[in-house]
Amino acid sequence: MAAGRAGAVLAALGVLSVCAASSSGPVAEGGGGGKAEWAEPWDGAVFRPPSALGVARALGAPRTGREEAVDLPVLLWWSPGLFPHFPGDSERIECARGACVASRDRRVHRDPRTRALLFYGTDFRASDAPLPRLAHQSWALLHEESPLNNFLLSHGPGIRLFNLTSTFSRHSDYPLPLQWLPGTAYLRHSGPPLQERAEWRRRGHAPLLYLQSHCDVPADRDRYVRELMRYIPVDSYGKCLQNRKLPTARLQDTVTATTEDPELLAFLSRYKFHLALENAICNDYMTEKLWRPMHLGAVPVYRGAPSVRDWMPNNHSIILIDDFESPQKLAEFIDFLDKNDEEYMKYLAYKQPGGITNQFLLDSLKHREWGVNDPLLPNYLNGFECFVCDHELTRLDAEKAHAASPGDIPVPEPHIAQLSHMDCPVPAPGIGDVEEIPENDSNPVLTRDHCICLIFIWPHLEKGSTHNGAAVP
């Protein structure tokens, strides 16, 4: 049975890698490779490792003393490159239910104490998967990024390879939907007064800002923005649809573009409206593109997480592109707000005392245990490790209880990830129908190669997943 299951996983992974290798996207480089081929510096999707190694480790102070660690469950980081977030090959971590050892030494892979393998989604490659899978080990996935960085994981058979997940989705086991939102103070921050923005308008600034240098992404955002530009002026400073240049070389540097650089923020805050389109459309996938304009007191014109309303400070704080039947209608509405200060200011009412009325948002911020750029709180990387540690300690206890009285206490139920943990519908054109897209279009996500790959591979993936997920005799 074990061999059959491993075979099925292997088959599924094999198919996955064929698909990846024949697509025309950046994954075509093959199974090896690290972060670099997927890195999306401009989009801010690049994982930011914890700042100082020691500081953020607030969930538990590491202790020395090797002998102590002898019987602790081991969590093995299978993904290379992303960590060292601890100095040696392994480190003891203290979590709510007890201690574990986090390691990145692959030689402990087959050790019975190695209870969980941890993967970073962007780096997950079929060719590097530790097969055959061992029955006593959980696979845990950390993937806070969109499917742009590894589309395999937003397909059922991909995500169901894992037992535990930490993704942008509220449905994942260790959810990170507000990973880009430092807190309510960040939202309440008031930008420059409206008169100042009006002055920039008089000096020739457009009402709308677009700042994007990662073009041809799954969300196909530039196609929509290009159309919108026919109806309302947009100042576009990034590499995509550029029509203006940022004033200094430093600001033009794409590395600066996703940071909280004060000079950049001051520049961006001249604009009343920011086009904020995520690189992929997934429920709960929201980035700095959404939160930063709000911080600056601008109104985001947003397309991204279909669930975004659930997270907004009140029900009148952003403009949703998909509420409008056409770019023209959207342009008319923005133009109306641009000329009507009273209506415009209603979009900033959440900045007033008591203005954040969304209890779900307030509760989510209050109850999360990790912080964003907050040296006093653990970061979610350490939080995730502890989450896995606690899960494994619980699972060990349950296994021991079962072993002690098999008649009374059943074997612990398997825990398997769901598609809702990476909830991203298949990419669609930013505007119009797929049939209208010319063959020579530059967006690889929408080209025929990719679609053919998916159509032919899909049935195999589904079959693979049934074998992985369900019991195979």
Ligand X SMILES: *[C@@H]1O[C@H](CO)[C@@H](O)[C@H](O)[C@H]1NC(C)=O
Interaction site with ligand X (CB under 6 A): 138, 160-161, 163, 315, 414-416, 438, 440, 442, 468-469
Q: Give the nearer residue to ligand X in terms of CB position, either 255 or 411.
A: 411
Q: Cα 290 to the chain's mean position, in Å? A: 13
Nearer to ligand X, 57 or 115 (CB): 115
Min dist. Cβ of residue 439 to ligand X (A): 8
Q: How far is the CB of 64 from ligand X (least distance, A)?
A: 31
> Min. distance of Cβ 449 from ligand X in angstroms?
16
Query: Which residue number places its CB atom closest to ligand X?
Result: 414
Closest separation between CB of residue 210 and ligand X, Å?
20
Q: How far is the CB of 448 from ligand X (least distance, A)?
A: 14
User: Least CB distance from residue 190 to ligand X, whole Å?
Assistant: 22
Measured at the CA of 116, the angle between CA 62 and CA 135, to 5 degrees, comes to 150
Contact predicate 200/271, CB 8 Å: yes
Say which residue the tokens 């049934």 belong to: 466
By beta-carbon proximity to ligand X, the closer residue of 113 and 201 is 113
User: Which CB, 4 or 49, lies closer to ligand X?
Assistant: 4
- Rank residues 157 and 304 by Cβ distance to ligand X and give the closer one: 157
Nearer to ligand X, 46 or 398 (CB): 398
